[in-house]
Chains A and B, each alone.
Chain A
Amino acid sequence: MHPSLSFDQAPPISVPYRFFLAAPWFGVMAGILLAWSGPDAFASRWTPEALALTHLIALGFMLQAMSGALFQFIPVAVGGNVWRPKLVANVVQPLLLLATLLLVAGLLFSQPTLLSAAVPLFLLAVGGFVIVVALALWQTPATGMTLWAMRMAIGGLAVTVLLGSLLAESLAHGLSVPIIELTNIHMAWGLGGWGLMLLAGVSYHVVPMFQLTRPFPLWFTRGFGPLLLLLLLAWSGQYFLDDLRWPLVAGFPLLLILAAYGGMTLWLQYTRRRKIHDATSMYFRVAMLSLLAFAVSGAAFFLDPVIGADPRSVVWLGVLAFAGVFVSAITGMMYKITPFLNWLHLQRLGAPMSAVPNMKKMIPADAMTGQLRLHVLAVLLLLIAVWEPGVVRLAGVSFAASCAWLGWNLVGAIRRYQGFRDQIRASVLHH
C-alpha cells in the first residue's frame, strides 16, 4: 500500500470537534463587541472595533472551523495522511485561540505589546498547521481539482498570515510600510486565496454529495482556482505599481469570477436531483446569494466613485463576506459533518448497527432551521446597520444570539454523542 495513502475514515472525533466547539463563541464575542461599541464600530473598516470584529470572525470563527474541517476532509476526500492529527490539533487549536484573543485585544485597545505577542504565536500555530497539511496534500497519490484547490488554499493561508504578521508588527512598532495597500492585499489573500479557494475546492465535492446535484463542469473547476490565484497575484501588483487604476483592472475580473462561482453553485442546486431541503442546503444558498451580492455591490462601488468613497461601502462588503458568505457556508457544513461524525464514531463501538441512532437524532432539525432563520435575520440587520447607525446594537445582539444558538446546537450534538456512547458501551459490556 502507498505509504501516504489513508483509507481510514477519520481522525479521532476530538480533533475536528475541539475546533468546531470553539468557533461559534468567537461569533458571540463579535456580536457582543458590536453591541457594546455601538454605531462607531461601523463608521469605517479602520476603527479599532472594526479591525477587532474582522479578526474575531476571520481567525476565531473561520480559521478555527476550517482547520478542524480540513483535518477531517483531507483523509476522506483526497486520501491524505495528516501527521499525528491529535497531537497537532491539541497544540495548534489552543495556540490559535490564544493568539486570536491577543491580536483582537491588541487591535481593540491599540496595545503594541499585545500585537507583538500575538505574531509569534500565529507564526507557530499556523506555520505548524500549514506544514503538516501541505505535506499531507503533496504526498497523496490522489488527483483532481479539489486537491489542487486545497493546495492553493493552504498557500493562500500562509501568504495571509505572513502579511498579517508584517502588518501587526508595523502597527506595533510604527514601521513605515504602505499600510493601506498591504491591508488590501492581506484581505484579498485571506478571503479569496484561503477562504474562497478552500470553500470552492470543498464544494466541488460536497455540493454534489449532499444535494445530489450534477458535478461542477470540468472546465469550471479547471479554470476557477488557477484564475482566482492569477487575479490575486494581479491584485497584489498594486503594491508595486503606483497606479490608481490598477486595483480596478484586477478587481473587476475578480468580482466576475466570484459571481461565476456563486451563480454556478446556485444553478447546480436549482437543478439538483435530491428535492429535500435541509439547513445545510439553505445555508449554502444564503452563502452563494451573499457572494453574488458582494460581487454586484463591489462592482457598483467601483463604478460609482461617490458611494465607493464612502468608508461604509467597505464595511458593507465585509458584512457580506464574513457574516453572509463564510459564517453561513461554515455553519451549513458543520450541521452536516457533526451528525455524520457522531454516527460514524458511535457505530465503531461494536454495538449492533440498529443500536446506533441515525444522523437525524444528533441535532434536532427544528433547532437547525430556527438558528438559520435567526442568522439570516442577523445578517440582514447587520447590512441595514451599515447605513443606519440606530440598528447597530440590535444587529450585534442578533448576531451574538444566532452564534450562541449555533454553539448550543453543537454542544447538544456532542452531549448526545457522549450519552449514546455510554449507553452503547454499557450494553456491549452487558452482553
Chain B
Amino acid sequence: MSITTPLFQHHKHCDEIFADAEEACANGEWTAGGEAFALLSNQLEAHFSSEEELLFPAFETATGMTSGPTEVMRGEHRQMRDLLAQMQGALASRDGDAFGGAAETLLILMQQHNMKEENILYPMCDNALGSSDVGAALAERLS
C-alpha cells in the first residue's frame, strides 16, 4: 500500500455519497438529501484538511516545491468549498435547480481535481515521501 492509497479510496467514498445526495435532492427527498449532503460536506472537508495539513506540507518540505501543484490543489479546494456552500444554501431554501446546478459543477470540478491528484500529484508524493509516516496519519484521519 502506498502513502496515498487512503486518499485514493476516500475519493471513491466521497463519489458514492455525492451520488446519494444528488439523487435524493433531485427527487425532492429533502430530508434524506440533507443528511447525505451533511455527510458529503463533512467527508470532503476531512479530505481537504488532511491533504492541506499533512500531505502537502510534507511534500513541500521534501521537494522544496511550495508554489506548484500543491498551490493549484489548494485553490481548487477553495472552489469546492464555495460550491458546497452554494449547495447548502440551495438545500436550505429547497431550490432544486440551484442545488442541481451547483452539484453538477462540483462533480466535474471534483472529478478533474481527483484525476490530477491520482495521475500526477499522488505518484509524485509517493516518490518523494517513500519512507515517511504520513501514510499512517492519513489513513487514521480518513478511516
Stretch at the interface among A137-145, A151-159, A372-380: A137-145
Give the residues in chain A near B16, CB-CB below 8 Å: 212, 273
Give the residues in chain B near A77, CB-CB below 8 Å: 115, 119
Give the residues in chain A near B37, CB-CB below 8 Å: none
- Assess whether B15 is in contact with A359, with CB atoms less than 8 Å apart: no
Interface string of A205-220 (1 = CB under 8 A from B): 1000110100000000
- Which residue in chain A gives the minimum CB-CB distance to B68? A1
Give the residues in chain B near A9, CB-CB below 8 Å: 72, 112
A342-369 interface (Cβ within 8 A of B)? 343-344, 347, 353-354, 357-361
> A340, A353, A354: which contacts B79 (Cβ < 8 A)?
A353
A1-42 interface (Cβ within 8 A of B)? 1, 5, 7-9
- Assess whether B86 is in contact with A354, with CB atoms less than 8 Å apart: yes
Nearest-Cβ distance from residue A135 to partner chain B, whole angstroms:
18
Stretch at the interface among B28-36, B42-50, B96-104, B135-143: B96-104
A1-B68, A353-B83 known; A78 vs B119 contact (CB < 8 Å): yes
- Assess whether B79 is in contact with A347, with CB atoms less than 8 Å apart: yes
- Assess whether A1 is in contact with B115, with CB atoms less than 8 Å apart: no
In the assembled complex, the Cα of A203 lies from the Cα of B109 at a distance in Å of: 17
Judged by a CB distance under 8 angstroms, whether A244 is at the interface is no
Give the residues in chain B near A7, CB-CB below 8 Å: 68-69, 72, 116, 120
- Assess whether A143 is in contact with B69, with CB atoms less than 8 Å apart: no
Judged by a CB distance under 8 angstroms, whether A391 is at the interface is no
A77-B115, A141-B120, A347-B79 known; A361 vs B101 contact (CB < 8 Å): yes
Considering only CB atoms and an 8 Å cut-off, how many residues of chain B contact the other chain?
Answer: 34
Judged by a CB distance under 8 angstroms, whether A336 is at the interface is yes
Nearest-Cβ distance from residue A18 to partner chain B, whole angstroms:
22
In the assembled complex, the Cα of A78 lies from the Cα of B101 at a distance in Å of: 27
- Which residue in chain B gives the minimum CB-CB distance to A1? B68
A69-102 interface (Cβ within 8 A of B)? 76-79
Judged by a CB distance under 8 angstroms, whether B56 is at the interface is no
In the assembled complex, the Cα of A78 lies from the Cα of B72 at a distance in Å of: 15
> A79, A273, A359: which contacts B120 (Cβ < 8 A)?
A79
Nearest-Cβ distance from residue B31 to partner chain A, whole angstroms:
18
Judged by a CB distance under 8 angstroms, whether B65 is at the interface is yes
Most buried by A among B72, B97, B112: B112
- Which residue in chain B gives the minimum CB-CB distance to A208? B111
- Which residue in chain A gives the minimum CB-CB distance to B72? A7
B17-68 interface (Cβ within 8 A of A)? 18-19, 22-23, 26, 65, 68
Nearest-Cβ distance from residue B47 to partner chain A, whole angstroms:
16
A212-B18, A353-B79 known; A343 vs B116 contact (CB < 8 Å): no
- Assess whether A79 is in contact with B119, with CB atoms less than 8 Å apart: yes
Judged by a CB distance under 8 angstroms, whether A274 is at the interface is yes
Judged by a CB distance under 8 angstroms, whether B105 is at the interface is yes
Most buried by A among B15, B79, B120, B123: B120
A212-B19, A273-B19, A353-B82 known; A1 vs B69 contact (CB < 8 Å): yes
- Assess whether B19 is in contact with A79, with CB atoms less than 8 Å apart: no
A193-234 interface (Cβ within 8 A of B)? 205, 209-210, 212
A347-B79, A353-B82, A353-B86 known; A340 vs B105 contact (CB < 8 Å): yes
- Assess whether B86 is in contact with A358, with CB atoms less than 8 Å apart: yes
Judged by a CB distance under 8 angstroms, whether A241 is at the interface is no
- Assess whether A358 is in contact with B116, with CB atoms less than 8 Å apart: no
Judged by a CB distance under 8 angstroms, whether B108 is at the interface is yes
Give the residues in chain A near B105, CB-CB below 8 Å: 340, 343, 358-360
Nearest-Cβ distance from residue A152 to partner chain B, whole angstroms:
18
Most buried by B among A78, A144, A276: A276
Nearest-Cβ distance from residue A355 to partner chain B, whole angstroms:
11
B89-140 interface (Cβ within 8 A of A)? 97-98, 100-102, 104-105, 107-109, 111-112, 115-116, 119-120, 123-124
Judged by a CB distance under 8 angstroms, whether A173 is at the interface is no
Nearest-Cβ distance from residue A136 to partner chain B, whole angstroms:
14
Give the residues in chain A near B85, CB-CB below 8 Å: 353-354
Give the residues in chain B near A209, CB-CB below 8 Å: 108, 111-112, 115
Give the residues in chain B near A212, CB-CB below 8 Å: 15-16, 18-19, 107
Nearest-Cβ distance from residue B133 to partner chain A, whole angstroms:
25
> A76, A144, A360: which contacts B116 (Cβ < 8 A)?
A76
Nearest-Cβ distance from residue A208 to partner chain B, whole angstroms:
8
- Assess whether B22 is in contact with A274, with CB atoms less than 8 Å apart: yes
Nearest-Cβ distance from residue A210 to partner chain B, whole angstroms:
8
Judged by a CB distance under 8 angstroms, whether A415 is at the interface is no
Give the residues in chain A near B79, CB-CB below 8 Å: 347, 353
- Which residue in chain A gives the minimum CB-CB distance to B108? A340
- Assess whether B19 is in contact with A5, with CB atoms less than 8 Å apart: no
Nearest-Cβ distance from residue B96 to partner chain A, whole angstroms:
11
A263-307 interface (Cβ within 8 A of B)? 273-276
